[in-house]
Amino acid sequence: MRRRTEILVLVFCLATATTAFASTVTYDHRAIVIDGKRRVLVSGSIHYPRSTPEMWPDLIQKSKDGGLDMIETYVFWSSHEPFRNQYNFEGRNDLVKFVKLVAAAGLYVHLRIGPYVCAEWNYGGFPLWLHFIPGIKFRTDNEPFKAEMQRFTAKIVDMMKQEKLYASQGGPIILSQIENEYGNIDSAYGAAAKSYIKWAADMAVSLDTGVPWVMCQQSDAPDPIINTCNGFYCDQFTPNSEKKPKMWTENWSGWFLSFGGAVPHRPAEDLAFAVARFYQRGGTFQNYYMYHGGTNFGRTSGGPFIATSYDYDAPIDEYGLARQPKWGHLRDVHKAIKLCEEALIATDPTISSLGSNLEAAVYKTGSVCSAFLANVDPKSDATVKFNGNSYHLPAWSVSILPDCKNVALNTAKINSMTVIPSFMHESLNTNADSTDSSKSTLLLIKSDYLWYSLSMDIKGDEPFLQDGSQTVLHVESLGHALHAFINGKLAGSGTGNSNNVKVKVDIPITVVPGKNTIDFLSVTVGLQNYGAFFDLSGAGVTGPVKLNGLNNGSSIDLSSQQWKYQVGLKGEDSGLPSGSSSQWISRSGLPKNRPLIWYKTNFDAPTGNNPVALDLTGMGKGEAWVNGQSIGRYWPAYIAPNGGCTDYCNYRGAYSPSKCHKNCGKPSQQLYHVPRSWLKPSGNILVLFEELGGDPTQIAFATRQTGSLCSHVSESHPLPVDMWGSDSKTGRASNPILSISCPSPNQVISTIKFASYGTPLGSCGSFSHGRCSSAKARSIVHEACVGSTSCSIGVSTRTFGDPCKGIKKSLAVEVSCA
């Protein structure tokens, strides 16, 4: 009955989530105004198709717990209308359910309809059939395109209205977006760009949603559309009208991963600095892109070469768990900013210089006063005087003073704990089935694969041959990967990369006198999703295709020969991904290192409730399905460059996607998320299509575990921001506090791996004692923490004694939970 009760409660919440009174949403030069009151808003992006409906409630709740007021999402046209006038709003595409769940949690929604979304999504979110409409030109003043764009936008708006999901109807949607980052590339479209943007704005407003519309990165967005900023930093952004608020629709919390690239990482201190700087300099709305990145299931990733993981180094990781310390530190930043809300919405900031690269912003009206003190120098700490008091400002940091006197938070000083994740592996049953794959016998509408085939007669005395059989096959392709077969055998392959998608190969081959066959398998790894005229980028073999002599310079051009074309693979046609086809062959010994081969095996779900990943070590490139659902493309054979990663990431100074890389010299992606909701306790089916050749006996499942939990707090840290409401005379004068809590309520702290009070060195997982260390630290921490779900310890000499007088000290702790 308990399970049934929970389901009934959820259904009731969904049914009643939008029965609130209608709200009036407007804006002025300072902020979004809801029911006549300006609001300071913190938002985060969660893309509903990149997670599962079973994950949505927890993701939304973690967002709320992290201090968000709003969830922002794109609307993915290609997922909702894969074929013209055939719609899909089920499962991961159930937009209405997602919006209602956000409402049930008490959060607002920003619906970014686009319908161009970029988002590292295949073809920028446009359905492929759109390309074939006669006379169409994307994203310009073109009647066929505008007609389709308006039809889909109106459909989404009508759906939301029918469910009463706009704030004007009592729903959660308080903002909508039309178009997306068009200003970055509109110059390429000439005069037609301006008329197109005006049309898009007028069309959106005419849909009468009752809430404001925005255009991001569009400096000429016509009234009443709000133009907004996207980027790593937007504190210097100014809207195009004094009547519009300063809004940041994409604060990039990290960066996307590409196959062949290292793993991007944006430090929590830098992200917090960017957020605080934005509110310091007059902003009142910012959104994290992404707050939860998720997974590019199936063939949804774009790029090309965007990886299946869309983790984005976001505050909530790909598996739905809080990434610490980023999630916790940003939660504290949000709390500190909300302590300033009364002042922020009342007036504009007064900004003054405190010295070179030092700045104060004061919001003061009557007796209400809040201040932000910033040190934007990327190297040097500073001590500043403000309102008669001294404040230490680390380099590249902002201190937030909700009362213009006491520091609630400094962005460079993290009070939140750090969590080191680990994965526990379970071997996979290797009694698998296999079957070969070849060219499709049917014409598929959508596939990553296209065959080019040529049959030709070759004489032994051809001038481009050496010894009657040796020559070099030269092929050029627009991308993204290519496999060449001569007389049915793989002769060679080539691949592009995220910087240059084109493929050019010269493959030494051997032919036979008489009839020979040449087959190319051209492979896409996500279609282009960004840039002017991105829809015309194309892919596949365009030529020239030649047979070149080894030494004498002679050649024959095969480009104009009568090639045949077939879309897709035989296995795709015959339903192999479902695992139910009759074409599988059971073998005790699995074929290894064979290209174009399918594998199938049965497995039991890993025990417990921890998130699950498939470790595809040993495999080359392909796609994987679990119980008929595609977990995405895999490519562990594509190794990131050896250079460019560092053990220590300096958060100071402007961030860029090339800074703070991880995982150099290793597969760009080795682990592939398998949602728990896709698994049964037993009898699950795993199907792989292996393109290059690999060893399936190395495949394993892994469950996401918590390895170590750490915290490192100095005597100069502010009190936890949660204690701001404590007594002003005693609470704020207290010492800093180190807190650690197990991630699950049914866990307790079981082991103290490290504890040092004094001058500890290193970071979580590699702490060491410095020259000064209290002998009592480990026993004090053990007594306070072991056996408890959480513990808090004062960082002071009163707790640990003074192991080194006159030296600033800190407490570093590493524990594990069980």
C-alpha span between 756 and 416 (Å, rounded): 18
C-alpha span between 632 and 295 (Å, rounded): 8
Q: Who's near 18: CB < 8 A, 6+ residues apart? A: 100, 103, 163, 164, 165, 169, 170, 171, 172
Q: Which stretches of 349-501 are assigned E, i.e. beta strand? A: 350-355, 358-365, 368-375, 382-386, 389-393, 397-401, 409-410, 418-427, 433-436, 449-458, 470-477, 481-486, 489-495
C-alpha span between 797 and 776 (Å, rounded): 11
Crossing angle for the helix pair 95-104 and 143-162, to the nearest 10 degrees: 40
C-alpha span between 178 and 477 (Å, rounded): 35
Backbone φ and ψ of 6, nearest 5°: -60, -40
The token pair that represents 592 in the structure block? 């290894």
Backbone φ and ψ of 768, nearest 5°: -150, 160
CA-CA-CA-CA torsion sign (472, 473, 477, 483): negative
CA dihedral 640, 641, 642, 648 (to 10 degrees): -70
Q: Round the CA-based radius of gyration of the chain to a whole number and report it.
A: 29
Backbone φ and ψ of 419, nearest 5°: -120, 125
Residue 262 carries which side chain, given as an amino acid letter?
A: A
* Residue 312, SS3 per DSSP: coil
- Report DSSP letters for 113-134, one per residue: EES---TTBGGGG--GGGGGST
- Taking the mean position of all CA atoms in its chain, how far away is CA 757? 37
The residues annotated as belonging to the active site are: 181, 250
Pairing of β 700-714 and β 585-586: unpaired
DSSP category for residue 775: T
Q: Which stretches of 36-181 are assigned E, i.e. beta strand? A: 37-39, 41-46, 70-74, 108-114, 173-178
C-alpha span between 160 and 155 (Å, rounded): 9
- Taking the mean position of all CA atoms in its chain, how far away is CA 259? 14
DSSP category for residue 121: B
- Report DSSP letters for 251-295, one per residue: EESS---BTTSPBP---HHHHHHHHHHHHHTT--EEEEEEEE--B
CA-CA-CA-CA torsion sign (289, 219, 205, 40): positive
C-alpha span between 120 and 295 (Å, rounded): 11
Specify the residue for token string 């001294």.
390
